[in-house]
A and B are shown apart, each in its own frame.
Chain A
Amino acid sequence: MPELTGWAVVVALLAATVGVITASDKSRSRWGWLLLCLFVPPALIVLFFLPALKLYGPGEQPWRRWVFFRVPISAFVLVLLFPFYWMIITTVRPDKELYRPWQAPNYAPFWTAHPTLDHIRDLLTTTLFSTWMLNTMLISLAATAISLFCGLLAGYALSRLKFPFAGSIGTGIFITYLVPQTLLFIPLSDIIRNFKLGDSPWALILTYPTFLIPFCTWLLMGYFKSIPKELEECARIDGAPRWKAMLYIIFPVAIPGILSAGIFAFTLSWNEFIYALVFLASPDQKTVPVGVTSELVRGDVFYWGELMAGALLGSIPVAFVYSFFVEYYVSGITGSVKG
């Protein structure tokens, strides 16, 4: 019951916010006022009388939980999700509405009365978007697999093995991650040419690990340090060689960390721009970030509807990966932080 009441307050406050926005829009002010009248008074009443209702047990402080946690986090989630909402609304908004100013009569910035799928259709039919998606997926998966494999071994070695200069090697790896890609792409162009990899997915599959491996190594180093050494030592006492202890004891425990490193690496590869721009030339070899901006930004004219459709469809695989592994991912991050 208290939970329900609390959430009712959050929903009422959100509805009241939408009401304020709607009421400020002259053409829809009636709906806005209706929302305001319907939701604001009950929300205020509940907020004021919630403690008096004594729905919580003694010792609990419901006010604190709502005021300092749930309401702020709802607002935070709203702010974080707003760009996605804006992408969706711009994707389905007809061109005619895209350039209307805020002060125009009957202007509805947060929704459209005439949704259209034209932009998605244009994106899929007039550009090579599906090919770019496939390329990006292939390149990201391959680069992530390579980087994770190397990062795992390097991270384990740097956190567990004792050898000269281990600390400085770790710092060195971290420093390589700090060198900006905008500097590295020029010497890397030379290497790509020497190996005749230009305009092929291998150009990216082999260059992305240059920034992904240091990243994975550092993340996993932190995570491995958080795993008690005793676990491994027990296995060693029982006669397991180091590689078996690593493979069967440490890695299974480190799965959350490995997954979070993998997800991060996948996202970084998916969004990478400068190498993909420089090393790939043919339209059918391009990745989503480069393909979309090459085709849909023409001089000083941006095809906003198609651009947002591309951004939206392009972010779905990443969101999909996150949603599946979110729990592991969160515990992976906290694990490495502990270390």
Chain B
Amino acid sequence: MRCIARRSLLKLSGAGAVAAGAGGLAGILAAGRAPVFAQGTTLHWLKFVDFVPVSDQLIKGKLKEDCRKALGIGLEVETINGDGVQARITSAIQAKSGPDILMAVSNWAQLYADSLADVSDIADARGNAEGGYFDTAKAVANDGKRWLAMPFTILGVLLVNRTSWFAEEGVKADNFPKTWEDFRAVGKKMKAKGRPFGQTLAHAFGDGPAGWYPYLWSWGGKEVEADGKTVALNSKETVESVKFAVAMWKDAFDEGAMSWDDAGNNRAFLANTISSTSNGASIYLLARSKADTYSTETGKPLKDDCFHAPLPGGPAGQFSYHVPFSNLIPTYVADPKPAKEFLRWFHSKDVYDQWFTSQQGFSVGSTKVWEDDPVWKVDPVMAPFRTAAESGRFAGYAGPAGRAAAETISKFIIVDMYAKAVQGAAPEDAVKWAHAELVKIYAG
């Protein structure tokens, strides 16, 4: 936590008129209670730059002011691109100095478990009040003994599809393929017309795992047994999944996607070169916010030619991999109380609701209560995201989403297993290679 600078202190408390003018006293009176912390307490919150710019504007503007009035805490929000966050967290934890609250993606909380303050009190209270957490949110932020981090949100991942192109094949949102076989059959026809599906096989930190982990699970494949130690990847189910993926890739997918980063499928879909891709709502929301910029090949707005659908299922069921975010309070923060109070306040229904509404459905919330939010009634195209998180699993299945699972994601072992096979390796060999890699990771 950082002490406020002398000049800022003068600005804040120099005269009553200044405070009143800024709404300080009025705000305190309106809140009906005195601020919890003395004026001068400042929190530094490091977070991802939000895909929805208005959400960051809300936090840096109105919510920052509300926080000052309600808690007496000055909020200093630093937003940076996702690729840089892990380096910042690592250096802060190592140097035992840095932001008071750090936003983590996926299961990074497990990587830094020993250096994180226990937030069980605020996390449990919120979970009880809001109908419980989704499994994904809990798997990444709870180590089975305590809450390592306060779940922030989950970004839903679904297939975004071209309405008119699928309609030509007789496919609509309500009869969208439920199995990989049907999906492949439709894709084969569409690829023949120059409208392939798109799914990266490269090291794209979001789209890679979000596409291939649920595919593996749907065939019955899994990284480890429930004990979290016995590697179980090399199974008949996994080999079958790889064999099918190789054929489906050739039949239905854009083969250029071998080199796509996270932005690759966005670019291809917005450029009308692919008909379907697994993604968050970013493609649709961008097409909607800039309807004049993004159009179909016939010139009509692209936003009017999109629908969302869940990934197809396999012999073992239908699964998804949604991307969870959580906030960490490191132990180097001398007094974690203000940070905890801030997170408790931010996740109170009225405050979080403002942020959630600004997301327009891009975020599905970490707790089940947000499934009933009116935001889902605004745009029918976004409606499938409402219940998306219910089918979510997380990496490391059937074991916990611990350190080894995080390392497996960051080394892209599962994605590379499919990539090797698609590039010509025998499916059995690709699975054997990935299994051996997992054995090394889980042994360490």
Contact = CB atoms under 8 A, between A and B. Distances in A.
Contact of A299 (B80, B82, B84): B82
B95 A294 contact: no
A153 interface: no
B282 A301 contact: yes
Contacts of B36: none
A185 B91 contact: yes
B297 A104 contact: yes
B79 interface: yes
B44 interface: yes
B422 interface: no
B81 A95 contact: no
A253 B282 CA distance: 59
B410 interface: no
B359 to A, nearest CB: 12
A246 interface: no
Interface string B81-94: 11110011011101
Interface string A92-131: 0001100111001000000000000000000000000000
Contacts of B96: 193
B21 to A, nearest CB: 25
Contact of A298 (B50, B88, B94, B271): B50
Contact of B271 (A100, A189, A282, A300): A100
Given A96-B292, A281-B78, A298 B97 contact: no
Contacts of B98: 198, 281
Dominant SS at the A interface? helix
Interface in A251-304: 274, 277-278, 281-283, 290, 293-295, 297-302
A301 B362 CA distance: 13
Contacts of A278: 87-88, 91
A300 B293 contact: no
A166 B297 CA distance: 69
Q: For chain A, which range describes its interface: under 10, 10 to 19, 20 to 34, or 35 or more residues?
A: 20 to 34
A278 B92 CA distance: 8
A299 B408 CA distance: 21
Interface string B240-264: 0000000000000000000000110
B83 A299 contact: no
A240 interface: no
B94 A189 contact: yes
B364 interface: no
A99 B292 CA distance: 12
B314 interface: no
B272 interface: yes
A189 B82 contact: no
Contact of A283 (B78, B83, B280, B286): B78
Interface in A173-193: 185-186, 189-190, 192-193
Interface string B262-276: 110111001111000
Contacts, number: 98
Contacts of B282: 299-301
A300 B279 CA distance: 9
Contacts of B265: 300
B49 A96 contact: no
B294 A99 contact: yes
Contacts of A198: 97-98
Given A298-B50, A301-B266, A290 B92 contact: no
B273 A101 contact: yes
Given A198-B97, A278-B88, A300-B207, A96 B293 contact: yes
A104 B270 CA distance: 13
A43 B98 CA distance: 65
Contact of B90 (A186, A193, A282): A186
A142 B286 CA distance: 42
Nearest to B273: A101
Of A101, A104, A298, most B-chain CB atoms within 10 Å: A298
Interface string B326-344: 0000000000000000000
Contacts of B48: 299
A274 B79 contact: no
A281 B91 CA distance: 12
Contacts of B91: 185-186, 189, 278
A294 B79 contact: yes
A101 B271 contact: yes
Given A189-B94, A282-B78, A300 B87 contact: no
A95 B290 CA distance: 9
B46 interface: yes
A294 B81 contact: yes
B81 A193 contact: no
Nearest to A286: B80
Nearest to B264: A300
Contacts of B46: 281
Interface in B85-116: 87-88, 90-92, 94-99
B380 interface: no
A277 B88 contact: yes
Contacts of B207: 300
Nearest to A126: B53
Contact of B81 (A99, A189, A190, A297): A297
B95 A190 contact: yes
B206 interface: yes
Contacts of B280: 299-300
A283 B292 CA distance: 32
A189 B97 CA distance: 9
Interface in A280-339: 281-283, 290, 293-295, 297-302
A299 to B, nearest CB: 4
A300 B262 contact: yes
Given A299-B262, A300-B51, 5 more contacts: A277-B88, A281-B78, A297-B49, A299-B49, A300-B263
Interface of A: 95-96, 99-101, 104, 185-186, 189-190, 192-193, 198, 274, 277-278, 281-283, 290, 293-295, 297-302
The 8 closest A-B pairs by CB, nearest first: A189-B95, A299-B51, A189-B91, A300-B262, A193-B97, A99-B270, A101-B271, A95-B293
Interface of B: 44, 46, 48-51, 53, 76, 78-84, 87-88, 90-92, 94-99, 206-207, 262-263, 265-267, 270-273, 279-280, 282, 286, 290, 292-295, 297
29 contacts: A101-B271, A101-B272, A101-B273, A104-B297, A186-B91, A189-B92, A189-B94, A193-B96, A193-B97, A277-B88, A278-B87, A281-B44, A290-B80, A290-B84, A293-B83, A294-B49, A294-B80, A295-B49, A297-B82, A297-B83, A298-B53, A299-B49, A299-B50, A299-B82, A299-B262, A300-B207, A300-B263, A300-B282, A301-B263
